[in-house]
Each structure stands twice: as structure tokens, then as C-alpha cells.
């Protein structure tokens, strides 16, 4: 059993440390192998996803990833983000689950992760026009829709499919395919919602949502929004799953260059991503629940500055791990 840990850039290495400690406590038999990725990998090898890292990820039981990205590469031809897009695509992790919870709110955004505007044709025309293209094959929509229906069925049975069908052809096809798949899930209540309205509804009445399924670009934007209305980016984890092979587990947030190096980053999203790994990749349901509970306790007792507290990353992690130990000796 080997988990590949990609610490990443900015606050990545600071919060990766928390994940390493949680895994050592909760899955002591699991080997954790660290590899170069993102900006750190560009500096060392010129490639954000070196072949050696990709090979290690493919043969791992799961990949746990800190955020990548660095202002140093903002204007560069080779960027850390390219490595992330390639890694998601190579692992085929098309279903990105982004849960958000707060009192009265319990929703999951199911974001399509390996298609759409992020992966369509792009380029520069002769006249200087620059273009990115949103492309989806109906099969790509069908598989993400099935995932979302299955998830909704295991939860409160309500699915909201978010698109821009009043404007985009890809969205009209998305809507049609979701309708077709819905026939196989008569127990799930499904509704379509336009993305601009969905953004407004997420801010003003987030408690109405159970499962939201949407494309890559809309899912990226709406998941930051959902994180913000449920306590902030420091809290939001994600799990990216394919049909087989290792899943990819990573926070929703980025490398937070504005606070990197200060040891004040909130490790909750990274720890919750570790809990999702324990759950989905290792099948350790009790350990996952224990880690979730420990993070909740640390959020109460040792909040970091993003939550109005003054705890350091390490103090937060210490509190969470102490809560874990206490719970496990009871
Ligand atoms: P960001 O998510 O890094 O930061 C946005 C704001 O949230 C900042 O004020 C930051 O300090 C705060 N924040 C984020 N995570 C936090 C945490 N754990 N604790 C406390 N505060 C936290 O977004 P950005 O500034 O737009 O992007 C910075 C870099 O991160 C960019 O290079 C971007 O491409 C990259 N990025 C990477 C990922 C990823 O690896 N999955 C995700 C998003 C952004
Ligand atoms: C995320 C990030 C990435 C995305 C970037 C860093 C490529 O914002 O995971 O939400 O847009 O998917
Ligand atoms: Mn994002």
C-alpha cells in the first residue's frame, strides 16, 4: 500500500506535513512516498509533472496533493497548473467531488474534471484572436451524470444539474444527456439550473442543494463559492475519482502565495482531503470519520487566522492529532 504525496507549492509543504502526520497515525502500514510536482518540479527538472512522478502516481493506491502554483511562473510558458491538468487527465479522474458543510448546509459539487473548456482546442488565429474551446462528448456527460445520480441516491435524493443551456450548445447536449440518464434513477429528483442563477442561489439559499453536477469550468468557480459560504477556502477538500486506478485527493484552494512561509495556513482542507482518501482509497471508514471529527474539534479549539483565530498550522494540527488520540483511547 503506497500513497504518493505531492506537497506542492506555496503553503503546500506546510499543510502536507499535517497530512503526513494524520496518515502515520491512522494508516501506519501505508507507505507515504513524496515526489516532485508543480513549481518545485519545474525548478528541479523543467517539467511540472516529471515522468518519474507520473509513474509513481499510476502505481500508487492514491495520490494526495497539496496546492500548486507560484507567481514566479505567471508569465512563463511552462506553468505548474499544466502539470495538474495533465495529472488529472492521465489518471482519468473525471469525477471531482467537492463537499461543503456548515450548519443547515450539506452539499456536494460533482465537477466534471477532465473535459470542457480546460481541455478543448485552443490557439491563436492569424489575425491575433486567441481562443479556448468548450468541448464535450455525450459519453463524457453520461459518465459524470451517472456518478452524480448514484451519489444523490445515496444521500437525500436531490440532484441539480448546472449549465448555461440558454446560450451554449455543449450545455444543451449536457441537459439532454442528464435527462436521459435520469430515466434510470426515478428515485432521484432532478432539476436543471442556469449557472448564473446557481451562483446566486448558492449565496442566498445554499441549504436547498444536495448534489450539484456541472462542467469543469462552472464547477471550478462554484466550488470556491460554496467553500466561501461554508466557512472559507481553508476548509474545503476534494476527491477526484475515475472508474479504476488511483484517486487524486486535494484541497479546493490554491497555494496561497500571500500567506506562504508564515506557517499560518489552515490545514483543515488538506486533512479533510486525507479523510476522503482514507474513505475512498483505503476503505477505512472509521479512521476517516475519526479524522473528520478531530478536524472539527481543532476548528473549534485552535482556529487559524483565516477563521479569526491565532493558531499556527502546527498548533491546529497538534490539536487535531491530540483529539484523534483521545478519541482512540476511549
Ligand atoms: P488561493 O486559493 O491560493 O488563495 C485565495 C485566498 O484564500 C488567499 O487569500 C489565500 O491566503 C486564502 N487561502 C487559501 N487557502 C488557504 C488556507 N489553507 N488557509 C488560509 N487561507 C487560505 O487562490 P489564488 O491566490 O487565486 O491562487 C494562487 C495560486 O494557486 C495560483 O497559482 C493558482 O493557479 C493556484 N491554485 C492551485 C490549486 C490546486 O493546486 N488545486 C487550486 C487553486 C489555485
Ligand atoms: C482547482 C484549481 C485548478 C483548476 C487550477 C490550479 C488548474 O483552481 O483545483 O480548483 O482550475 O481546476
Ligand atoms: Mn479552483
Q: What is the DSSP string of 87-136?
A: HHHHHT--EEEEEEEETTEEEEEEEE-SSGGGTS-EEE-TTS-EEE----
Q: Indicate which atom in ligand 2 lies nearest the CA of residue 96.
A: 9
How far is Cα 264 from Cα 260, in angstroms, rounded to an integer?
A: 8
The predicted pLDDT at position 104 comes to: 97
In short, whether 81's Cβ falls inside 6 Å of ligand 2 is: yes
In short, whether 241's Cβ falls inside 6 Å of ligand 2 is: no
The predicted pLDDT at position 328 comes to: 80
| 21 CA from centroid of ligand 3 (Å) | 26
Judge residue 197's burial from the number of C-beta atoms within 10 Å of its C-beta, 0-12 exposed, 13-18 middle, 19 or more buried: exposed
Ramachandran sector of residue 305 (left: φ over 0; alpha: ψ -120 to 50; beta: rest): alpha
The predicted pLDDT at position 310 comes to: 98
Among protein residues, the one whose CA lies closest to atom 40 of ligand 1: 67
Which stretches in the chain have pLDDT values below 50?
none
Taking alpha carbons only, the member of 228, 234, 231 closest to residue 265 is 234
Among protein residues, the one whose CA lies closest to atom 34 of ligand 1: 69
Ligand nearest the Cα of residue 7 is: 1
Query: Which residues does a 6 A CB cutoff place in the pocket of ligand 1?
Result: 11, 67-69, 81, 84, 233-234, 250, 253-259, 265-266, 269, 306
Among protein residues, the one whose CA lies closest to atom 5 of ligand 1: 256
In short, whether 296's Cβ falls inside 6 Å of ligand 2 is: no
Pocket mutation for ligand 2, best pick of 38, 63, 69, 81 (most atoms within 8 Å of C-beta): 81
Place of cell 440532484: 159
Taking alpha carbons only, the member of 108, 97, 125, 150 closest to residue 277 is 97
| 118 CA from centroid of ligand 2 (Å) | 10
Ligand nearest the Cα of residue 254 is: 1
Q: CB count, 10 Å around CB of 236? A: 25
How far is Cα 143 from Cα 94, in angstroms, rounded to an integer?
A: 9
The predicted pLDDT at position 136 comes to: 98
The predicted pLDDT at position 259 comes to: 98
| 81 CA from centroid of ligand 1 (Å) | 12
Q: Which residues are catalytic?
A: 118, 164, 196, 220, 224
How far is Cα 226 from Cα 184, in angstroms, rounded to an integer?
A: 28
Q: Indicate which atom in ligand 2 lies nearest the CA of residue 220.
A: 10
Ligand nearest the Cα of residue 304 is: 1
Among protein residues, the one whose CA lies closest to atom 7 of ligand 2: 81
Amino acid at each position: 500500500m503506497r500513497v504518493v504525496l505531492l506537497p506542492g507549492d506555496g503553503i503546500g509543504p506546510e499543510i502536507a506535513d499535517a497530512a503526513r502526520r494524520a496518515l502515520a497515525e491512522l494508516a501506519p502500514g501505508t507507505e507515504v512516498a513524496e515526489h516532485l510536482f508543480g513549481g518545485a518540479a519545474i525548478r528541479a527538472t523543467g517539467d511540472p509533472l516529471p515522468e518519474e512522478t507520473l509513474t509513481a502516481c499510476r502505481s500508487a493506491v492514491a495520490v494526495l496533493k497539496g496546492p500548486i502554483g507560484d507567481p514566479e511562473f505567471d508569465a512563463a510558458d511552462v506553468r505548474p497548473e499544466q502539470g495538474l491538468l495533465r495529472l488529472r487527465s492521465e489518471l482519468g479522474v473525471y469525477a471531482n467531488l467537492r463537499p461543503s458543510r456548515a450548519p443547515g448546509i450539506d452539499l456536494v459539487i460533482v465537477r466534471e474534471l477532465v473535459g470542457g473548456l480546460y481541455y478543448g482546442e485552443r490557439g491563436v488565429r492569424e489575425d491575433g484572436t486567441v481562443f479556448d474551446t468548450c468541448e464535450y462528448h455525450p459519453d463524457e456527460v453520461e459518465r459524470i451524470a451517472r456518478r452524480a445520480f448514484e451519489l444523490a441516491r445515496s444521500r437525500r435524493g436531490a440532484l441539480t444539474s448546472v449549465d448555461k443551456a440558454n446560450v451554449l450548445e455543449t450545455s444543451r447536449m449536457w441537459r439532454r444527456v442528464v435527462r436521459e440518464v435520469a430515466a434510470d434513477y426515478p428515485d432521484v429528483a432532478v432539476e436543471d439550473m442556469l449557472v448564473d442563477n446557481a451562483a446566486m442561489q448558492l449565496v442566498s439559499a445554499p441549504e436547498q442543494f444536495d448534489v450539484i453536477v456541472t462542467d469543469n469550468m462552472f464547477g471550478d468557480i462554484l466550488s470556491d463559492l460554496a467553500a466561501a459560504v461554508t466557512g472559507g477556502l481553508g476548509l474545503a477538500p476534494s476527491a477526484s475519482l475515475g472508474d479504476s486506478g488511483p484517486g487524486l485527493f486535494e484541497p479546493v484552494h490554491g497555494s496561497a502565495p500571500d500567506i506562504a512561509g508564515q506557517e499560518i495556513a489552515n490545514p483543515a482542507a488538506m486533512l479533510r482531503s486525507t479523510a476522503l482518501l482514507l474513505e475512498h482509497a483505503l476503505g477505512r471508514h472509521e479512521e476517516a470519520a475519526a479524522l473528520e471529527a478531530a478536524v472539527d474539534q481543532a476548528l473549534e479549539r485552535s482556529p487559524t487566522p483565516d477563521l479569526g483565530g491565532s493558531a499556527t498550522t502546527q498548533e491546529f494540527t497538534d490539536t487535531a492529532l491530540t483529539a484523534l488520540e483521545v478519541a482512540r483511547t476511549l
